Amino acid sequence: MKFVDEVRIRVQAGAGGNGCVSFRREKYVPRGGPDGGDGGRGGDVILMAVSNKHTLLDFRYRHLFRAASGRHGSGQNRHGRGGEDLILEVPVGTVVKDSVGEEILADLTEPGQVWTAAGGGMGGRGNARFVSSTRQVPRFAQDGQPGEEAEVILELKLMADVGLVGFPNAGKSTLIAAVSAARPKIADYPFTTLVPNLGVVAFGDAPPFVMADIPGLIEGAHEGVGLGTRFLRHIERTRVLVHLVDVSELDEDDPLRPLRQIERELAGYSEELPLKVSVVALNKADLVFDEEKLERLVAAYRETGRPTLVISALARRGLPDLLAVLTRILHSAEEEEADGAAPPGAGLNGLNDDDTPPDGSRVA
């Protein structure tokens, strides 16, 4: 399925129906009074977040969305029927911005959440409404109001708890496939993943969390190199980032280079991304046979203050430890939100004090 995460649409609410000018005609009643009914209200255009849609594909080829107009009023005091609302279903996580992309008008983060993009016009009043003591025979009625019209940008920001970042080929898709039911394409060349994938991770008794695998980043991504940073918006809402590093490719003279480069790309995209709590997963440990070297590399990463784990996504080693750390961080973040206590990220450095065996031997 095509993944579309940004579209521009026009929405047009229905016009109100006109009020009616009419007079009662009855046999033997020479002059009946006014009986023109009101026009119906125009339909609204409403956006509704639903959880069974995952892209904005529906809006890719169609840009104008109009709700029905209200019917005109008619004689015998019949009011026009209101125009039906047009309900547009959008994926949960859709952000609505104004036509220049500056102001956020709505952020639909919960299933069922609705937002009126354009309000229908009021129906006009029929002449029956205009009778007064001095005006017995109103020969006029009101026209319906036009419906509101707007142009808006819809942007999808996936709702994930954990975001995987790293160079192409680091093994991000392999990891998400190993810990969730997601089945992204995996291959031995860069830029295999072209669109984000989400996976639901269930670990132990903790509530499941959602992990996002996004296309790999390379140096210069924030200037548009490779696939650029187009997909970084999908990790903006995450609470934790996992830096996935191919440990078999690390250079001992400068082991932190991939981390630094990815951080630079994150910072180039937004000031907030580098502030997120992050964990390092040194992947492809099955390809490193020099245990001491591996330990030195781990030590270098731990020096940065990040919990650092050694894994093999392919051989499925070290994964429970990684998930335990992520669960712990997500859980403590929830508690902090509940208490309004410590700032995010506080107290994380001690998380991985128990030395994870580099060969993952604790893993069943």
Ligand X SMILES: Nc1nc2c(ncn2[C@@H]2O[C@H](COP(=O)(O)OP(=O)(O)OP(=O)(O)O)[C@@H](O)[C@H]2O)c(=O)[nH]1
Contacts with ligand X by CB under 6 A lie at 166, 168-174, 186-188, 190-193, 215-216, 283-284, 286-287, 312-314
User: For residues 12 and 193, which CB has a smaller minimum distance to ligand X in the complex?
Assistant: 193
Smallest distance from Mg ion to CB 212, Å: 11
User: For residues 68 and 319, which CB has a smaller minimum distance to ligand X in the complex?
Assistant: 319
The rounded distance, in Å, linking the Cα atoms of 153 and 320 is 40
Which are the contacts of 355, defined by CB distance < 8 A and separation ≥ 6? none
Smallest distance from ligand X to CB 167, Å: 7
Which of ligand X, Mg ion, none sits in contact with 163, Cβ below 5 to 8 A by type? none
The rounded distance, in Å, linking the Cα atoms of 135 and 180 is 74
Smallest distance from ligand X to CB 41, Å: 50
Residue 173 interacts with Mg ion (CB under 5 A): yes or no: yes
Q: Which of 192, 248, 270, 304 binds Mg ion (CB under 5 A)?
A: 192
Smallest distance from Mg ion to CB 173, Å: 3
Smallest distance from ligand X to CB 162, Å: 15
Which of ligand X, Mg ion, none sits in contact with 287, Cβ below 5 to 8 A by type? ligand X
Residue 193 interacts with Mg ion (CB under 5 A): yes or no: yes
User: For residues 116 and 192, which CB has a smaller minimum distance to Mg ion in the complex?
Assistant: 192
Smallest distance from ligand X to CB 273, Å: 17
Number of residues that bind Mg ion (CB under 5 A): 3
Which of ligand X, Mg ion, none sits in contact with 94, Cβ below 5 to 8 A by type? none
The rounded distance, in Å, linking the Cα atoms of 323 and 305 is 18
Smallest distance from ligand X to CB 312, Å: 4
Instruction: Considering only the stretches 159-167, 187-195, 204-212, 229-237, report the one whose residues sit in contact with Mg ion under the rule CB under 5 A.
Output: 187-195
User: For residues 229 and 283, which CB has a smaller minimum distance to ligand X in the complex?
Assistant: 283
User: For residues 50 and 314, which CB has a smaller minimum distance to ligand X in the complex?
Assistant: 314
Which of Mg ion, ligand X, none sits in contact with 169, Cβ below 5 to 8 A by type? ligand X
Which of Mg ion, ligand X, none sits in contact with 308, Cβ below 5 to 8 A by type? none
User: For residues 50 and 218, which CB has a smaller minimum distance to ligand X in the complex?
Assistant: 218
* Nearest Cα to Cα of residue 126 among 81, 82, 79: 79
Binding site for Mg ion (CB under 5 A): 173, 192-193
